[in-house]
Structure 1
Amino acid sequence: MILVTGGAGYIGSHAVLELLLAGHDVLVLDNLCNSSRIALQRVEQLAGRTLHFVKGDIRRRAQLDALFAQYPIEAVLHFAGLKAVGESVRHPLNYYDNNVGGSLTLCQAMADAGVFRLVFSSSATVYGTPATVPINEQAATGLPTNPYGQSKLMVENLLRDLANADPRWSIALLRYFNPIGAHESGLIGEDPCGIPNNLLPYITQVAIGRLEQLNVYGADYPTPDGTGIRDYIHVVDLAKGHLLALEKLRQVKGAHIWNLGTGQGHSVLELIRVFEEITQTRLPYRLAPRREGDIAACWADPTKAERELGWKAERGLTAMIADAWRWQVQNPSGYRVTDRVKESIKRIPASPISGNIQREAVMTRTGTSSANALL
């Protein structure tokens, strides 16, 4: 069984789907602070299989110990963490507590349970401002410009030190570039709380009328059209990379770093142009001053992942945008829990594993695919 922390979130839910499709038994631990159980219900619908769900927090050591005692966990995919850059600047203690403190507690519980295989959800933000592009894994980590990026780098350092000190550990540090898109079914996708922090969800919400216009921050960068360039990767390709890393860890020890990106950069204005072509809509936007901490260009050299994992991004920008728009149109209001959806989720109480743990099995029911959800 694979424990997936943060498995009800955007990337986590797509990874859980791929795990189920590959035949793995899955236990999801999520505190639902920025995710929805409806996502897991839809994952089960797509996979045709059930999963185990526990509402809980990686910072609660007693709860983790109880889960490792109750379930035959053999490896962990670790997605749980706060991820909004702006919020991290306003509330840095929350980010260090949740992202760093929670990862530390998780590793302590894993070690005591004899579980030493871990895939960590890291970020290209650990490179800071890159000296050159594309960026390979040999590039030095820079100084992340916000507490979110700092927290990811701190966890990476923690995990590398852990693997150096104890040869039993097999750890994958997966450095994502810019995940976008949604599952092609339109049933699961990105559902940001409040105003989106990422570009494509903001674009789709403007296009569907939820937001008035898009601000393009920075039009004077040293790039072909003056706007920032990023490496956008389809979330399904990203999820598949986790499964390949998980299997690779059966063969290797220590901590290993892999970039997960397409190896191609696209500017903000290019993303807008392709979106308008696909949707046949005009997107209202305005050019605004640069934001502090933003960089001009960042894209990956994913050669190492292809060579060592056999992984390569398969979906191009057109597919990423088309899938994101399908998700937005089919689910204009997010993973909103309606009375109909509530009735379709059957709660199965279990004997308490520890003091106040409640285990919930998310059961798939026919006819719930029309419940609202959003990118």
Structure 2
Amino acid sequence: MHVLVSGGAGYIGSHTVLALIRAGHSVVVVDDFSNSKAAVVGRLEALAGQQIPVQAFDLTDRDKTDRLFDTEHVDAVIHFAGFKAVGESVAKPLTYYTNNLDTTFSLLRAMERHGTPKLVFSSSATVYGPRSVLPYREDGEEPIEAVNPYGRSKVMLEHVLTDVAAAAPALKVALLRYFNPVGAHPSGMIGEDPGGIPNNLVPYIAQVAVGRREKLSVFGGDYDTPDGTCLRDYIHVEDLAEGHVAALEYLTTATEPARAFNLGTGHGTSVLEMVHAFERAAGRPIPYEIVDRRPGDLPVSYADVSRAAAELGWRATRSVDDMCVDAWRWQSQNPEGYPDA
């Protein structure tokens, strides 16, 4: 298939581009580089051994989006483009709702006009709210909900995409709810390069290990968990990328208009367990201190991944140690992340 990958220069998008090419698909990337660096493109081409067409524009521009579909025969779309920082979404809710919804609406209109029948959507485990029962199931009794604007934008879009697919018999949609992506490509050439202070645990640990930050603040050490710190379902970004390819290929024979899938490992790893795994990978101690709990953090979050295993034929295979080894290789080879140019 010829696949349009929106946000394909970002962390998860770039790894998925390589996974698609490995699986024999061709790609065109659309990215406005608001949350990524142009330098990733050359590295992707070096790893793929081929030129990767890239269109640099904002997908909220409906005319440019439509013109792209005029010039490219697109068999399927994998949609990553969107703002994703939870804290920023609380401070700038209108920005998040506008961008995350409008990019999707723009793509849907172009797909409808040009008869593109397959969409894999980047959703999130944040659609599971405090009433959701562990392990989180796609068909849980509680409705999906969220506690911040970023998560609510994903909930809204899951409803929109389900409604649109139900009204357009030719359209099939996979809604991928993924948990905590970490790690990097085993080459160390591409990885996670957050702007500013990292919002997620592992990039912060990596920056402490490489000397960019003094120490890690662990938010809460008195939760009802084995070591008192929060448990999360961490998944290697390479496993996650392969999950997108599996979902894309599933859509060829899908009978349901829209179907949600959890992409995770199915078990939780604590903050301190992740710190110690990274210490093993880096061969050095990670300084940390326990501080007050952070408002809104759930003590435990992990997925039931049986649906993805049964219907996509996909399961995460890489361990927490694999995640940390690959994340450290990326960070140690690129201590300041991607170059600006």
Which category of TM-score, normalised to the shorter sequence, fits these structures? over 0.9
Shift of 1:287: 0.8
Q: Are the equivalent residues in 1 in contact too, given 2:30–2:56 (CA < 8 A)?
A: yes
Q: Distance in 2 between matches of 1:325 and 1:141?
A: 38
Q: Distance in 2 between matches of 1:146 and 1:48?
A: 41
Q: Distance in 2 between matches of 1:126 and 1:81?
A: 15
Q: Distance in 2 between matches of 1:87 and 1:68?
A: 32
What residue number does 1:342 align with?
A: none
What residue number does 1:222 align with?
A: 224
Q: Distance in 1 between matches of 2:296 and 2:169?
A: 37
Specify the code of the residue in structure 1 equivalent to 2:119.
L
1:321 corresponds to 2:324:
yes
The range that moved more, 154-163 or 42-51, is: 42-51
**Identity percentage of aligned residues:** 53
Structure 2 residue aligned with 1:264, among 267, 286, 307?
267
Equivalence map 1:132-151=2 (5 Å): 132-139=133-140, 140-151=142-153
Q: Distance in 1 between matches of 2:31 and 2:205?
A: 28
Structure 1 residue aligned with 2:213, among 208, 211, 214?
211
What residue number does 2:28 align with?
A: 27
Shift of 1:316: 0.5
Q: Distance in 1 between matches of 2:170 and 2:131?
A: 33
The number of residue pairs the alignment matches comes to 338
What residue number does 2:113 align with?
A: 112
Q: Distance in 2 between matches of 1:186 and 1:337?
A: 18
Shift of 1:319: 0.2
Structure 1 residue aligned with 2:182, among 161, 168, 180?
180
Corresponding residue SS for 1:51: coil
Q: Distance in 2 between matches of 1:222 and 1:286?
A: 18
Residues 78-106 of structure 1 deviation map (CA, whole Å, 9 limit, x = unaligned)? 00000001110111111001111211121
Shift of 1:142: 4.0
Q: Are the equivalent residues in 2 in contact too, given 1:10–1:189 (CA < 8 A)?
A: yes
Equivalence map 1:330-369=2 (5 Å): 330-337=333-340
Residues 300-334 of structure 1 deviation map (CA, whole Å, 9 limit, x = unaligned)? 11111011011010100000000000000000111
What residue number does 1:55 align with?
A: 56
TM-score, normalization by structure 1 = 0.88
1:298 corresponds to 2:301:
yes
Shift of 1:130: 4.9
What residue number does 1:17 align with?
A: 18
Structure 1, unpaired ranges of 5+: 339-375
RMSD (Å), alpha carbons? 1.1
Q: Distance in 2 between matches of 1:281 and 1:141?
A: 44
Corresponding residue SS for 1:120: strand
What residue number does 1:202 align with?
A: 204
Residues 319-373 of structure 1 deviation map (CA, whole Å, 9 limit, x = unaligned)? 00000000000001111135xxxxxxxxxxxxxxxxxxxxxxxxxxxxxxxxxxx
What residue number does 1:240 align with?
A: 242
What residue number does 1:165 align with?
A: 167
Corresponding residue SS for 1:173: strand
Q: Closer, same or farther in 2 for the Cα pair 1:225/1:38, shift >3 Å?
A: same
Q: Are the equivalent residues in 1 in contact too, given 2:40–2:338 (CA < 8 A)?
A: yes
